[in-house]
Amino acid sequence: MSLTAVVWATTGGLFSFGLAIVVLRRQLLAMLLGLELMLAAVNVSLVHHAGMFDDAEALAVVALVIAVAAAEAVVGLSLILRMRRGGRGADAALLTELQG
Amino acid sequence: MTPAQVPWAAWLLFASPVTAILLGFFVLRRKPEWTHLPILASCAIVTASAFALAARVYTGHSFDLNLFRFAEAGTWAIDFGLRVDGPGVAVLAMVAFVGSLIHLYAAGYMKGDPAFGRFFLIFHLFFLAMIGLLTANNFVQLYLFWELVGVCSYLLVGHYHQKESARKAALKAFMTNRVGDFGLLLALLLIVLQFKITHFHLLYLKVASGAAFELLPLIGLLLVWAACAKSAQFPLYFWLPDAMEGPTPTSALMHAATMVTAGVFLLVRAWPLLAVVPGLPDLIAWIGAFTALSAAIIAGTRKDLKRILAYSTVSHLGLMMLALGLGQVGVALFHLIVHGFFKAALFLCAGNIAHALHQPTANVDDVGGLQKSMRLTYLSFLLAACSLAGLFPFGGFFSKDAVLDAAWHRGGGLAAMGMLVAAGSAFYIFRMLFLAFYGCRPEQKRAPHAHEAEPILGVPVLFLALGAAAAGLLKGPIERFVTAGFRGLPSGLPGLEVVLNLPGEPLLPHLNMTVALLGTLMAALGAFAAWRLTMSDPGFDWRWRGGPVEALFDSDFGYKKLVDGFAAAVSRSAGFVGRVLDKGGVDGLVEGTTGFVRAAGGAIARSAQGRINDYLWWMLAGTAILVVRVLR
Amino acid sequence: MSHPLTILWAAPLAGAAVCAFLGARARYAALAFSALFAGLAGALVLTLLANPALSVVNELGPVWAYGISYRLSADSLSIGLIALTAFLNLICVAASWELDVPAAYWACFLALASALTGVFLARDLFLFYVFWEATLVPMFFIIGLWGSSNRLHAAVKFFLFTFAGSVFMLLALLALVSAHHRATGVWTWDLAALDASALGAAAPLVFWGLVLGFAVKIPMIPLHTWLPDAHTEAPAAGSVMLAGVMLKMGVYGLLRIALPLFPELSFSALPILGGLAAFSTIYGALCAMAQTDLKRMIAYSSIAHLGFCLLGVLSRTSQGLVGGTLQLVNHGLTTGALFLMVGFLYERTHKRGLSDFGDLASRAPYLAFFFGFSTLASIGLPGLNGFVGEFMALSGALSVLPILAFAGVLGVTLAAAYALPAFQAVFWAPAGPGSVSAQVADLNLRERAVLWTLTGLMLWIGLAPMPWLAFFEPALRGLVR
């Protein structure tokens, strides 16, 4: 079993795990966690493939993704905090404003 | 003949009533109590003109010409014109004379009515419509005035419209006539389809040419249907007895001159068309005989004076139809004219009685022994009643004798029914005479205030009664008028000189001794029965009432229930169509689409309740599809 | 004036624009522009009468993409209907003169008149469709803004119903034009250049699409249920325009587009279409009998009247076509007058139920006279206008399919059964408890003048219809089978 196969299996698993959390859980904090997990999985995969193809641009993208993940965590966490202060807990099912 | 050669009198027939009505409508609006003045003047002019025209026709100057094109499209065209011929002008002279006297009477009778002006305008329009009907030269023009007559009668019957009975009677009269007009309108359309023309004389020529016209039987049947409605024949007679809800002059005008005679006149006009349809004349005769007999029986049981006379009109119109059905056009016209005189007189007498009692109508409970207090009215009534009963030498004797003679020659059931009607007529009119003018039975209220009517009410009645008494003298002239009408016209349209070979002899029969004696015997019998049941047994009329027999007569042997049931069924079905079928069914379907759209929207909305997880699933599905598309 | 037809439809539109900016004094501008419009229409009628040789006035503007062109034309049929539009528009302005309404009210009426004129003038099908739909907008606002209590529902129903109908019409027009393009390689929407032969087997579909679009407007049973609601809720003048002109668009569409393009198909559809029309005359009368609201009753009677128009037109005989077309005008005058009078009653009392009134004959004799007169005209009394049209239309139908005429005559008979009881209930019967008759003042001079004009025309057409028949006949000659 080569390294690539191991990386694919790991990142694929992590990504699917994160996706499942995001889609299935209604706890907003857990969903944010799942999101982070998916981004991390993509990052691992990117790093591995950047090494394989000797591509510096991909490493730059990795840095970008980390920045995005951080920014997203900031916005997401503050939104969750705002919601808890509003007394609505952190349940995604209660956020139905999109229905209009 | 050109329009310029049309005699002045013919134009005046229309010009003077129209002018009088316009004057009354526009100029005298603020002085409605003067409305009758121009109208009475117009009546005088019309009567003079009608007699002038009659004299011209009598001396052989009938005419028939088209004046203007009413409607045209492609090859389809209808012309309007003027036909002044024997039958038309004979009836016209009677209508003008009798109608004018009734106008005069109305001026007195309606005095003080809050709607005096309106009444007189419509009254005169009614008169004008009949004049137009009698001088029309084609079926469409006749239909125009026919309907105008119907509308005017509607408005006049509904004159006292605060009364529910008057509103109902007016509506009943109009709707029944409308049902009859169904026949006339359809017949008109079929005539246009079959012959391409509606002009009477050209139609006569076409029919007389002997060619086969397959629609003619249907046309004939429909015309008879229309005449049955207008002339109050079974099965459409029932509106006429109710129509006496109008003011008495209206009843007199309707029964004598301007309304119910229109149906008989229509059949006279259409006679050459009807005569060639096998079986149709017999149908007319049987309808007439049946109606005449049934109505005479019912008339003998009524209490309301005007109602007795109304059924009597139905009965006498039946006699006219009988004569017509037997091919005796002249006899039918003769009886129509004589009937106009005596019936007008009788109605106005009934009006005088009601007027004396200060009531809208009078019935036999209210009056009795008026002979002393109302001498002039009594005399007029007596003359007219003798005429109606057909006693020699009063007018009715001659005309009724002619009808009976025609029926006698046919023999069988028609002759027997004719004789029975003769007896029945004498019975009901003498019963009325005895009940109203003789004795004063304990059951009747005494009318101490009853007084003779003022001259404007008395004199026209006397004139009419004298006319009714002397109308037998008209036999000769009418014979000549009838011949003048059907034996070709001296001038006018090309081809009219052709002498029409008409079936049935239009001349009046000579006096037949057997029939005359038998008819008089029957009348005497009827009069005797009336005397026996009202004078020698004065309480009889009140004794038999109240039982099932009275109910039988009251409902016209159950026929009224049938008619009311039919009317109710129509309005029920309208209710069903309007409220259930249209509102619930068709519109319900349309309004239902809103509900459908809303339900569909609701179903979709349920799949998008704004839950983030749901959207994530949608996103996932979308991404999956994209990935698959890109990778493949 | 080098563009007489453009001026004709642009004049009221300009009037609408002016009204919209004027505010409180808009009614004067509305009156002026309505009078101008009526004058223009009248001048066109006179032009046509004065030059019998000049049977058609044409105007051709630019041609745009896909063969869409600015093509106007007016024959006696168009001009007659435009004159009716202009006349009724003027009547409407006069009749609603004292209403307390904003400037937009007047603007809507003028815009409506303009769009209607466009419909009757357009000979380019695209242009026709644009004008056709443009009529909906002002009428939608007239009903929706100045109607009575349930106006919004009625306005939306009216809009959606008629719009759904015209979608089918648009599809049919598109199919027609693209089939022509496939066959000849030329894009054109010119009515005269198009013919149905390119359609082949799709012809019946296209024909029925067109008919569906027109039938909703007429309205033909069972597509009629928008009409009672729209009429009942619309203001009186709106009802007049709706009944007087907008319903005529459907019959006009048949005459102008469906019959000439599909002569054979339309004739073979006679048993169905004519049957529905004949049925309409009876069904409309029965429904009218069941109504307790005056306006609803008159609306249902409209359905019956339009049935007679259709019977005549579909018979494709000269008397039927001319009579049916005359009946369009008749119905505009008679029903218009009746709607106006119910409107006058509504203005005074805010009621229009049969049982809300009584004894008006003595309280308001003028109103009774005019209402009775119009009622008689409406039930086809000979001597008044309704008879001429009905008689000719039925005569045409009888010569083609007798059963239709039989049904039609039955409809004529039934007409009295709703009109007269209604008349009696309002004018003759004593005022019941809760009646508002006491608030009814008789007609004032302005209202009487409006009604005299209408009743005068009714009498004229009834007694001497020849000028009217002769006016319409040339335009319809080509449709005779």
> What's residue B497's pLDDT?
37
Inform me whether the pLDDT recorded for B486 exceeds 60.
Answer: no
Cα–chain-centroid distance for residue C219? 10
**Tens-place pLDDT, residues B37-46:** 999 999 999 9
Interface probe for B, chosen from A15, A21, A23 (most Cβ of B below 10 Å), is A23
Least CB–CB distance from A98: residue in B605, B610, B617: B610
**Tens-place pLDDT, residues A13-29:** 999 999 999 888 888 88
Which residue, chain included where needed, has tokens 């306005």? C155
How far does the CA of residue B622 sit from the closest CA of chain A (Å)?
Answer: 14
Q: B609–A96: do the CB atoms touch at under 8 Å?
A: yes
Least CB–CB distance from B613: residue in A19, A23, A97: A23
Is B620 an 8 Å CB contact of chain A? yes
Going by beta carbons, is chain A in contact with chain C, meaning 3 or more pairs sit under 8 Å apart? no
Which residue, chain included where needed, has tokens 């009715």? B396
| Percent of chain B residues topping a pLDDT of 90 | 45
With beta carbons under 8 A apart, name residues in chain A contacting B612.
31, 92, 95, 98
Neighbours, chain A (3 or more CB pairs < 8 A): B
Buried-exposed string C320-359: b where 16+ CB fall within 10 A, e elsewhere: bbbbbbbbbbbbbbbbbbbbbbbbbbbeebebbbbebbbb
Q: A99–B609: do the CB atoms touch at under 8 Å?
A: yes
At B55, which helix (H) or strand (E)?
helix B36-58
Interface probe for B, chosen from C286, C374, C384, C437 (most Cβ of B below 10 Å), is C286
Q: C398–B189: do the CB atoms touch at under 8 Å?
A: yes
Asked if B263 contacts B295 with a C-beta cutoff of 8 angstroms, the reply is no
C-alpha radius of gyration, chain A, whole number? 17
How far does the CA of residue A97 sit from the closest CA of chain B (Å)?
Answer: 6
Q: B575–C289: do the CB atoms touch at under 8 Å?
A: yes
Is B624 an 8 Å CB contact of chain A? no
Inform me whether the pLDDT recorded for B483 exceeds 70.
Answer: no
Interface probe for C, chosen from B147, B156, B190, B236 (most Cβ of C below 10 Å), is B147
Q: B616–A23: do the CB atoms touch at under 8 Å?
A: yes
Least CB–CB distance from C399: residue in B73, B148, B193: B193
In the stretch 238-297 of chain C, residues with CB closer than 8 A to chain B read 283, 286-291
Query: One digit per residue, pLDDT tens: chain C, 481 residues?
Result: 578 889 999 999 999 999 988 877 888 999 999 999 999 999 989 988 888 766 677 888 888 888 899 989 988 899 999 999 999 999 999 999 988 888 999 999 999 999 999 999 999 999 999 999 999 999 999 999 998 888 999 999 999 989 999 999 999 999 999 999 999 988 999 988 888 888 888 899 999 999 999 999 988 888 888 999 999 999 999 999 999 999 999 999 999 999 999 988 888 888 999 999 999 999 999 999 999 999 999 999 999 999 999 999 999 999 999 999 999 999 999 999 999 999 999 989 988 888 888 889 888 999 999 999 999 999 999 999 999 999 999 999 999 999 999 999 999 999 999 999 999 999 999 888 888 888 888 999 999 999 999 999 999 999 999 999 999 998 898 888 8
Q: B189–C225: do the CB atoms touch at under 8 Å?
A: no
B606 φ, ψ (degrees, to nearest 5): -65, -25
**Tens-place pLDDT, residues B334-381:** 999 999 999 999 999 999 888 888 887 788 877 777 888 888 899 999
Q: B610–A92: do the CB atoms touch at under 8 Å?
A: no
Task: Please report, as a single letter, which amino acid is at residue C412.
Answer: V
Task: Please report, as a single letter, which amino acid is at residue B33.
Answer: E
Inform me whether the pLDDT recorded for B504 exceeds 70.
Answer: no
Least confident of B141-155, B431-445, B606-620: B606-620
Least CB–CB distance from A92: residue in B612, B617, B620: B612
Alpha helices in C424-463 (DSSP H): 445-463
Which of B574, B374, B583, B13 is CA-nearest to residue C225? B583
Q: How far is CA C53 from CA C19, C49, C326, C343, C466, in A?
A: 39, 9, 22, 43, 19
B238 φ, ψ (degrees, to nearest 5): -65, -15
Helix axes of B375-389 and B395-410: crossing angle, nearest 10 degrees:
20
Which residue, chain included where needed, has tokens 């492609």? B74
Q: B144–C413: do the CB atoms touch at under 8 Å?
A: no
B161 φ, ψ (degrees, to nearest 5): -75, -5
Inform me whether the pLDDT recorded for B2 exceeds 90.
Answer: no
Q: A95–B611: do the CB atoms touch at under 8 Å?
A: yes
Q: Give the predicted TM-score (pTM) of the model.
A: 0.88
Nearest chain B residue to A24 by CA: give it. Answer: B613
Least CB–CB distance from C225: residue in B75, B144, B586: B586
Residues 6+ positions from B625 with CB-CB distance below 8 Å: none
Is A19 an 8 Å CB contact of chain B? yes
Is B608 an 8 Å CB contact of chain A? yes
B304 φ, ψ (degrees, to nearest 5): -75, 130
Which residue, chain included where needed, has tokens 């005189």? B341
With beta carbons under 8 A apart, name residues in chain B contacting C395.
76, 189, 192-193
Spatial distance between the Cα atoms of C232 and C226, rounded to a whole number of angstroms: 10
Q: Cis peptide before B360, with omega less than 30 degrees from 0? A: no
How far does the CA of residue C167 sit from the closest CA of chain B (Å)?
Answer: 17
Strand, helix or coil at B31?
coil
Spatial distance between the Cα atoms of A66 and A36, rounded to a whole number of angstroms: 10
**Tens-place pLDDT, residues B279-325:** 999 999 999 999 999 999 999 888 888 999 999 999 999 999 999 99
Spatial distance between the Cα atoms of B81 and B199, rounded to a whole number of angstroms: 9
**Tens-place pLDDT, residues B91-114:** 999 999 999 999 999 999 988 888
Least CB–CB distance from B611: residue in A19, A31, A93: A93
How far does the CA of residue B575 sit from the closest CA of chain A (Å)?
Answer: 46
Is A58 an 8 Å CB contact of chain B? no
- Residue B420, Cβ neighbours under 10 Å: how many? 17
Q: C318–B75: do the CB atoms touch at under 8 Å?
A: yes
Spatial distance between the Cα atoms of C347 and C146, rounded to a whole number of angstroms: 12
Q: Cis peptide before B217, with omega less than 30 degrees from 0? A: no
Greater pLDDT, B83 or B547: B83
Alpha helices in B196-304 (DSSP H): 200-208, 216-230, 239-242, 248-253, 261-269, 271-275, 280-299
Cα–chain-centroid distance for residue C185? 38
DSSP character string of C78-141: HHHHHHHHHHHHHHHHHHTTT----HHHHHHHHHHHHHHHHHHHB-BHHHHHHHHHHTHHHHHH
Nearest chain A residue to B619 by CA: give it. Answer: A23
Going by beta carbons, is chain B in contact with chain A, meaning 3 or more pairs sit under 8 Å apart? yes
Is A29 an 8 Å CB contact of chain B? no
With beta carbons under 8 A apart, name residues in chain B contacting C416.
174-175, 178
Neighbours, chain C (3 or more CB pairs < 8 A): B
Is C318 an 8 Å CB contact of chain B? yes
Alpha helices in B160-199 (DSSP H): 164-195
Q: A24–B617: do the CB atoms touch at under 8 Å?
A: no
Is A22 an 8 Å CB contact of chain B? yes
Sign, CA torsion C245/C251/C256/C258? positive
Buried-exposed string C400-426: b where 16+ CB fall within 10 A, e elsewhere: bbeebbbbbbbbbbbbbbbbbbbbbbb
C8: left (phi over 0), alpha (psi -120 to 50) or beta: alpha
Asked if B337 contacts B91 with a C-beta cutoff of 8 angstroms, the reply is yes
Task: Please report, as a single letter, which amino acid is at residue B288.
Answer: G
Domain ranges (residues) in chain A: 3-90
**Tens-place pLDDT, residues B513-569:** 888 899 999 999 999 999 888 888 877 877 887 778 888 888 888 888 998 899 899
ipTM of the complex: 0.93
With beta carbons under 8 A apart, name residues in chain B contacting A98.
610, 612, 615
If you average pLDDT over every residue of chain B, what do you get? 87
Interface probe for B, chosen from C223, C327, C469 (most Cβ of B below 10 Å), is C469
Task: Please report, as a single letter, which amino acid is at residue B220.
Answer: G
Buried-exposed string C126-147: b where 16+ CB fall within 10 A, e elsewhere: bbbbebbbbbbebbbbbbbbbb
With beta carbons under 8 A apart, name residues in chain C contacting B73.
318-319, 321-323, 392, 469, 473
Asked if C168 contacts C213 with a C-beta cutoff of 8 angstroms, the reply is yes
Q: How far is CA A79 from CA A36, A87, A99, C118, C184, in A?
A: 16, 13, 19, 59, 65
Sign, CA torsion C328/C332/C338/C343? positive
Is A24 an 8 Å CB contact of chain B? yes
Asked if C419 contacts C379 with a C-beta cutoff of 8 angstroms, the reply is yes
Asked if C367 contacts C423 with a C-beta cutoff of 8 angstroms, the reply is no
Q: How far is CA B220 from CA B135, B214, B215, B337, C229, in A?
A: 21, 11, 9, 24, 44
Which residue, chain included where needed, has tokens 């003022």? B454
How far does the CA of residue A30 sit from the closest CA of chain B (Å)?
Answer: 12
Q: A3-90 — its CATH code?
A: 1.10.287.3510
